[in-house]
Amino acid sequence: MIEPQAAPAAEPATGQALVEAENLKVHFPITSGLFQRTVGAVRAVDDITFDIRKGETLGLVGESGCGKSTTGRALIRLRELTDGVVRFDGVDLTTLKRDQLRKMRRRMQIIFQDPYSSLNPRMTVGSIISEPIETHNLASGRGKLERVKELLALVGLNPNYTNRYPHEFSGGQRQRIGVARSLAVEPEFIVCDEPISALDVSIQAQVLNLLVELREQFGLTYLFIAHDLSVVRHISDRIGVMYLGKVVELGPPAAIYETPAHPYTRALLSAVPIPDPRAERRRKRVILTGDVPSPANPPSGCRFHTRCWLYERLGRPENCRTDDPELRIVQPDHRAACHYAEDAMQSDVGVAHIGAEPIKRKAFGAGPGAHKPVADDSVPATLVTGVAPDEGTGGGTGGSGTGGAAPPE
Amino acid sequence: MTATDDDRRVDPGSPAVAELPDTEKLPEAVSLETEEGRRLAAQLADEKARHARKLLEVRDLSTQFFTKDGVVHAVDRVSFELDYGETLGLVGESGCGKSVTALSLTRLVPDPPGKITSGEVIFDGVDIMKLSSEEMRLLRGKRIGFIFQDPMTSLNPTLTIGFQIAESARLHLGLSNRAANDRAVELLSKVGIPRARDRMGDYPHQFSGGMRQRVMIAIALACDPMLLLADEPTTALDVTIQAQILELIRSLSDEFGTAVILITHDLGIAAGMCHRVNVMYAGQIVETGVVDDLFENPRMPYAWGLLDSLPRLDEERGSRLRTIEGMPPDLIHVGDDCRFAPRCPYSRDICLEDEPQLTEREGPDHLARCWGTEPGRAWIE
Ligand SMILES: Nc1ncnc2c1ncn2[C@@H]1O[C@H](COP(=O)(O)OP(=O)(O)OP(=O)(O)O)[C@@H](O)[C@H]1O
Ligand SMILES: Nc1ncnc2c1ncn2[C@@H]1O[C@H](COP(=O)(O)OP(=O)(O)O)[C@@H](O)[C@H]1O
Ligand code: SF4
Ligand code: SF4
Ligand SMILES: [Mg+2]
Ligand SMILES: [Mg+2]
């Protein structure tokens, strides 16, 4: 079947944009009183501009409520825009008629966070997956059933499970069903909205590997939304960091994780727990105080100034309170929205993970004595099985979590 | 504003208990003639006795749920110890028995359908299985504080924050209304709620998730407990708020010498917070050790595979993640085998025939439940 492959796309994305967001705004009205008068707005997404290149995975991180899901939905027009433009393959989605939009939708899909509520409990797995096939008249009769079976096998489920119901599956398996459904229409672009957040640790890696394999096989473009920075780093070609409805930093993983230019990104990095006791003890943390302010009433100037450690260190410069910083280029292909991005880049906050010798451990499942476990019938895992130890026997270097990794450049 | 955290943690491995002066030398230091001297001597003797024992000794604890589908072996012959002031992690995936272990320690298992079917729990020298329900209730209130994943389910939405904290101090410490109120204000500011006195009259819904968790911590600490049971205290929170809450738990446990049992599925949190870690799988402890040792040299394939499947910030990007295949077993059909065998890339015939026991590995501090690393027959390097 599919060979295990490196996580980032083997061929880096071409420069051509598949999805473009221009001055995207999504506001939700706040109403009050008997007549539901509008008294304000939650500025969930507030004027953001970015693009997603063909074949690339753009990671989107940020704290809950910062607008990640709203952005993802607006890109495929599952949410009406308050303002701005979204283009897909050059076509402005905001001007499309209903029918044209329906055709276009076939090319973009979404996978949700919660594998429990996103599948209709009264439908069999077969009908869940064939629904989009019918909607778009892609196959019928025998052909449809064959296609459903093919899709189940593709996501590592037993193809004979078409008559089972969602409750008969575990969380990870349900997420695979969701993936199969979204693949049914052969999309080019998939919004993955926290697809592994609700899963158990040992299952997260399985689903993550599956998404990577499918991406390689079908040349998919992903918007990968997550709050876990280690996961996003693993899967993304570029990463956007959001705070209170804004994209505050955008760039490739090396830029975001090694020379982060926004104080918020650095604070996030310093807060991520590292599963290495020694690394954890070495770290110096910047702990942000306070909570994220309300998106209905964001702070003036730079929205992060109420929690910004750099603002404090610099003696609370006035422009942070008065001028909203633009997302500007700080290095080639690396943008940040901070008046003092250059100072942020000079600091050592949030980059303790660099240059540190990672914990040394022999690779799991490799080496003498290891074999492929006998798969139990209730645990169909055709795709995830046979994670062949790629470094063979012996030293046990390389691979995830083992020593011998070169220090990041 | 920001706070920088330097290396404040206790060296893992050495229990976080202060060095105790030697009682034998006491006559030179204090006079037993005075009341103060006798009090001090008694206190030291008491502390010395404590030093010799553990805060918590759990032996062969089993808890089962009697359901219509069958008997769920949620906690199966679990044994472990906890030192005074120590932070112990309990990690493992959903349904492996972490929460039920915590509930069993405090005899809070819902009955029916649950029942503690065997075992001993010695808390500060007292066998809690022998206590009456009333004595148990008192012990819980005074000596053990709880923090849960979702503070909203444990806070009463109709009572003010101030009342709920003061109530705890009033009930368990017997403080007057006024003193309890003062204690509540003190605790609220201690857990980092700004303008604590003004917020005493607020209701839980007026607080954010992170602030509610701070309130829970204040309530848990109201009576100065010896043990804090924290069940996924930050799982519902964002990473920057999580960092705040973990820092708070760490500094309070250092300050008051409170022991902590931290239940988490996040191995990064365990690495940063705990002296020792118990890894659970399918109702059993499968490995236990001092963090450094366990993370570097796991001796049971499940613990090992779990550690190896994590993407990390500080490793080379791009490698395919290692996975543990399959899923954990249900806890109704358990047999006399290694419960990890169907998923284990190292299994052999013996693993299906005989149940491995939790036995010593490199030293008495590192235990594992695995034939493949069992001294004398090991085949895993
Ligand atoms: N009230 C109950 N009735 C029946 N079974 C129960 C009950 N409570 C827990 N169990 C079962 O006991 C086992 C252990 O559950 P427990 O809540 O301790 O898991 P956990 O490790 O805390 O998981 P999580 O990470 O999801 O919180 C599970 O199989 C669960 O289904
Ligand atoms: N349908 C809705 N109606 C009103 N407010 C909403 C709606 N969906 C999201 N919001 C608000 O918009 C903001 C951003 O939400 P969301 O995009 O879901 O954030 P994230 O995915 O980053 O957690 C939040 O303040 C949220 O409460
Ligand atoms: S613009 Fe000012 S307040 Fe905003 S992130 Fe930069 S330094 Fe901080
Ligand atoms: S006892 Fe056997 S099956 Fe169980 S973890 Fe050890 S090697 Fe694997
Ligand atoms: Mg979301
Ligand atoms: Mg639990």
Given a contact cutoff of 8 angstroms between Cβ atoms, the answer to whether A334 and A251 are in contact is yes
What integer pLDDT is reported at residue B185 of this predicted model? 93
Residue A117 scores a pLDDT above 60: yes
Residues of chain B in contact with residue A361, where contact means CB-CB under 8 angstroms, are 295-298, 304, 307-308
> Ligand 5 center to residue A63 CA distance, Å?
9
Ligand that lies nearest to the alpha carbon of residue B71, given by its number in the listed order: 1
In single-letter form, the type of residue at position A358 comes to: P
Q: Which residue of A has its CA nearest to B304?
A: A364
Which residue, B1, B2, B51, is CA-closest to B22? Answer: B51
Determine if residue A367 is left, alpha or beta; phi over 0 gives left, psi from -120 to 50 gives alpha, anything else beta.
left
Given a contact cutoff of 8 angstroms between Cβ atoms, the answer to whether A370 and A389 are in contact is yes
Residues of chain A in contact with residue B247, where contact means CB-CB under 8 angstroms, are 285, 287
Check A292 against B266: CB less than 8 A apart.
Answer: no
- B331 CB near ligand 1 (under 6 Å): yes
Which residue, A76, A27, A94, A115, is CA-closest to A297? Answer: A27
What integer pLDDT is reported at residue B66 of this predicted model? 95
Cα–Cα distance, B188 to B377 (Å, whole number):
55
Interface A-B, measured as beta-carbon pairs within 8 A, has a size of 257
> Which residues in chain B (343-372) have CB-CB distances under 8 A to chain A?
343-347, 372
* Token representation of residue B302: 């499940």
* Token representation of residue A202: 């040992």
What integer pLDDT is reported at residue A310 of this predicted model? 96
Contacts 24+ apart (CB under 8 A), B77-82: B77/B118, B77/B119, B77/B284, B78/B119, B78/B280, B78/B283, B78/B284, B78/B285, B79/B285, B79/B358, B80/B278, B80/B285, B80/B288, B81/B54, B81/B56, B81/B57, B82/B54, B82/B55, B82/B56, B82/B57, B82/B227, B82/B259, B82/B261
Average pLDDT value for residue range A112-137:
89
Cα–Cα distance, B269 to B260 (Å, whole number):
13
Please tell me the pTM assigned to this model. 0.82
Please calculate the CA angle A211-A271-A346 and round it to the nearest 5 degrees: 105
Residue A404 scores a pLDDT above 60: no
Given a contact cutoff of 8 angstroms between Cβ atoms, the answer to whether B63 and B74 are in contact is yes
The predicted-structure confidence for A65-81, as pLDDT tens digits, reads as follows 899 999 999 999 999 99
What integer pLDDT is reported at residue B19 of this predicted model? 42
Residue A132 scores a pLDDT above 80: yes
Report in angstroms the alpha-carbon separations of B229 from A85, A260, B264.
51, 37, 11
Check B319 against A229: CB less than 8 A apart.
Answer: no
What integer pLDDT is reported at residue A246 of this predicted model? 96
| Cβ neighbour number for residue B296 with a 10 Å cutoff | 16
**Is the Cα torsion angle B197, B198, B204, B207 positive or negative in sign?**
negative
What integer pLDDT is reported at residue A394 of this predicted model? 33
Cα–Cα distance, B97 to B263 (Å, whole number):
10
* Disruptive mutation site among A216, A232, A280, A316 for chain B (greatest number of B CBs within 10 Å): A280
What is the DSSP-derived secondary structure letter of residue B300? Answer: S
In single-letter form, the type of residue at position A273 comes to: P
What integer pLDDT is reported at residue A372 of this predicted model? 75
Q: Whose CA is nearest to atom 5 of ligand 2?
A: A28
Average pLDDT value for residue range A104-124:
88
Which residue, B61, B75, B76, B63, is CA-closest to B119? Answer: B61
Check B313 against A230: CB less than 8 A apart.
Answer: yes
Burial of B365 (0-12, 13-18, 19+ CB in 10 A): middle
> Ligand 6 center to residue B94 CA distance, Å?
7
* Token representation of residue A132: 């989009």
Q: Higher confidence at residue A243 or residue B36?
A: A243
Cα–Cα distance, B331 to B47 (Å, whole number):
41
User: Mean pLDDT of residues grouped by 10 in chain B (381 residues)?
Assistant: 38 39 50 75 70 87 93 95 96 90 93 93 93 90 84 84 90 87 90 86 86 88 89 85 90 92 94 96 96 95 92 72 84 90 94 95 91 91 79
Cα–Cα distance, A141 to A184 (Å, whole number):
15
Average pLDDT value for residue range A191-217:
88
Cα–Cα distance, A156 to A206 (Å, whole number):
10
* DSSP symbols for B44-56: HHHHHHHHHS-SE
What integer pLDDT is reported at residue A374 of this predicted model? 57
In single-letter form, the type of residue at position B326 comes to: G
